[in-house]
Structure 1
Amino acid sequence: MNIFHRRRRTLAGLPVLALLIVTAGCSSSDDNDSAAVPSPDTKATGLCRNLDEALPDKVDGLSREDPEPRSALTAGWGGSAIILRCGVQRPPKMIDPKVAKGADPDAVAGGVNGVDWLMEKRDDGAYRFTTANRTAYVEVSVAKGRDSSGALIDLAGAIKKAIPEGIAD
């Protein structure tokens, strides 16, 4: 194949590439559908892989759409509406004695269907929930304006099945 022929093929593909870039830029699932992949130890990674296999196809009525980059440690439903990350670090507020006494109104502990959570309201109005009393930390972010109870109810069974009760390292 000569160079001229190769250039022609590349140039012919440019309009299609430009159209894809413009379409992706207009999409509602552009850079919001990403999630940082945690770096847990080997034990937590194994538990997180088990969780990934146990997760439901739908959460709070939304279909599963995993964020980029693809990983067994992250999952998503409804684009960026609900994002799960498994194997995250323990949140600092989880061990702060002021939180345990209810002094921090933006960090509240509670349970849903047998799974204990630390709830934190974020500056953007979204909520972040992190499991407590499990051998790996699982974080669930719920976008502003969404009722989080449906997500936590739908995820509880998979978390109980895959992540045993205990204290994460």
Structure 2
Amino acid sequence: MTQNPPIRRALLPATALLAALALAGCSGGGSVRVAAPVTTGSTAEQCAALKAALPATLQGRKLRDTTPESANTAAWGNPAITLRCGVGTAAVLDPHSPAYDLNADIEESGGVCWVSEQTAGGGFRFTTVRQQATVELTLPAAYAGGQSPVGLLAGAVLKADPVVRDRPFACV
């Protein structure tokens, strides 16, 4: 049985579209779902300035769109390294949190103090500790053991949100 040529021509674009969508899914294209913190005032302004200052690539990984679209989020690569701006104090630094840790690992990189925590999935979360608009960077387990990208983001963080000197946390 042969198909009618008009039907065959109509099926070709649909087949090409499905193939393109399948390839995009395999290549890591598309947007990344990242929970966007709600910010107002100067924190919202600093997060928007940070997003504008972020690099198009991070350790060779291209910047991707985030869902929902927000000035408070960014992502690079696949699996995605995600950034959220305007988050609260890291739980390991909050004395009211069950995760509070007097020995939390706080280190300086590029002039920015970051506390690091291992995530349940084997990745890492880095959170700034002396910025008004607290920034959180999450690396999936796939990048564990590699070089941390926080130093590469320090310039953008400092440009958008200089250090708040009266924060109680100190870098080692």
TM-score normalised over the length of structure 1: 0.75
Alignment size in residue pairs: 152
Structure 1 residues 148 and 132: CA distance shift in structure 2, 3 A: farther
Instruction: Name the amino acid aligned to 1:59.
Output: L
Instruction: Report the Cα offset of residue 15 of structure 1.
Output: 6.2
Task: Give identity over the alignment, percent.
Answer: 30
Deviations 1:56-95, CA, capped at 9 Å, x for gaps: 1111121211322222111111144311110112222112
Relative to total residues, which structure has the larger helix share, 1 or 2?
1
Q: 1:129 aligns with which of 126, 134, 153?
A: 126
| Cα separation, 2, equivalents of 1:46 and 1:122 | 29
Unmatched tracts of structure 1, length 5 or more: 1-10
Corresponding position of 1:155 = 153
| Cα separation, 2, equivalents of 1:157 and 1:62 | 18
Q: Following superposition of structure 1 onto structure 2, how do residues 41-120 of structure 1 map, counting pairs within 5 Å?
A: 41-96=40-95, 99-100=101-102, 102=103, 107-120=104-117
8 Å CA contact retained: 2:32, 2:67: yes
Instruction: Name the amino acid aligned to 1:58.
Output: T
| Cα separation, 1, equivalents of 2:132 and 2:138 | 19
| Cα separation, 1, equivalents of 2:139 and 2:146 | 6
| Aligned alpha-carbon RMSD (Å) | 2.7
TM-score normalised over the length of structure 2: 0.74
Q: What SS class does the counterpart of residue 68 from structure 2 fall into? A: coil
Deviations 1:134-162, CA, capped at 9 Å, x for gaps: 11110000111315644111101100111
Instruction: Report the Cα offset of residue 49 of structure 1.
Output: 0.5
